[in-house]
Amino acid sequence: MSRVVVFDEAGGPEVLRVVDQPVPEPAAGQVRLAVEVIGVNRLDAMVRAGHAPRPIRLPQARLGVEAAGRIDAVGADVEEFAVGDPVIVTALPDMDINGTYAEQLVLPAERIIARPAELDATSAAALWVSYSTAYGALIEKAGTRPGDRVLVTAASSGVGLAAMQIANQIGAIPLAVTRSETKVDALLAAGAYAVLIRPRDDLARVTQELTDGSGVEIILDLVMGPGLADLARAARPGGTLVTAGWLDPRPASFPMNPLTINRYMSFEHTLDPTAVRRIAAFLGAGLRTGALSPTIDRAFGFDDVVEAHRYLEQGSPFGKVVLSV
């Protein structure tokens, strides 16, 4: 049996509970993972609250798309991995059925990658969702190049911090946007060239000053909502706006200035084996050189999953929240 987090109805963190469920032997092409650490993501909270992008199977729906652990059984035809290998889960589109909030889980071998030697289990659990999202949005979608000025909203989030590290890794220039003056020094230490505080700062005016009047080439927005049009004014004509999150549930305003606008969803690439190899190679290079390093805000125990979700929603984490199994 495996202890698993489930919920029977949409609602607040209190709907989450831990139950025992049987764990099958892996079939052909599958592995069984002994989970060590689980990444807690905004998507998990959205699904739990009833705001999932697709229908969720209730009752006893599961949560989680991200985890690190070790393989404890392999099915037939699995040649790349062996029992004991440390691995990272890369994508689980059916989280309500096979979510990672569990002590053990069975999944296709194509849904994992080897854990980079530079990472312990905690850092590994904080890597994939944040960094693959930031990489996919900036590199695959926006085509960010060295020298590009990149404005990143929700910069203290896991994806925001990953985006700034990735921008620095390729020689771009990250500009951080935050709503908290207390995070300015930490964002500068995390690699931001400059920090803009919203709504105190006029983003268009300040970015014009920082870019000698031209505006930024790339905007990575993780917030959406009615402030999107004002945010877009910080871009240069012909710049690129990529939205990769929806922290503000209100309807988004539509930018009037000429921009290339892309909506990025991480499953665009994390379900594509060829793209996963590109992502893993890029992140591996950054980890080896030290350009990339996951930021952990706080680790909770598995039995404290309700408190972890409360913290995620009520606080303002600087980096990633994780569950230790």
Could you tell me where the DSSP H helices lie in 171-319? 184-189, 203-210, 228-232, 267-270, 273-289, 305-314
According to the model, what pLDDT value does residue 51 have?
86
CATH number for 2-127+294-324: choose from 3.20.20.70, 3.50.50.60, 3.90.180.10, 3.30.420.340.
3.90.180.10
- CA Rg value for the chain: 20
Measured CA to CA, the distance from residue 165 to residue 168 in angstroms comes to: 5
CATH number for 130-265: choose from 3.40.50.720, 3.40.190.10, 3.40.720.10, 3.60.110.10.
3.40.50.720
Cβ proximity of 262 and 243 under 8 Å:
yes
Q: What is the pLDDT along the chain (325 residues), one digit of tens a residue?
A: 899 999 999 999 999 999 999 999 999 999 999 999 999 999 999 999 998 777 889 999 999 999 999 999 999 999 999 999 999 999 888 899 999 999 999 999 999 999 999 999 999 999 999 999 999 999 999 999 999 999 999 999 999 999 999 999 999 999 999 998 999 999 999 999 999 998 788 888 999 999 999 999 999 999 876 777 788 889 998 899 998 876 666 766 766 666 677 787 767 788 888 999 999 999 999 999 999 999 999 999 999 999 999 999 987 899 999 999 9
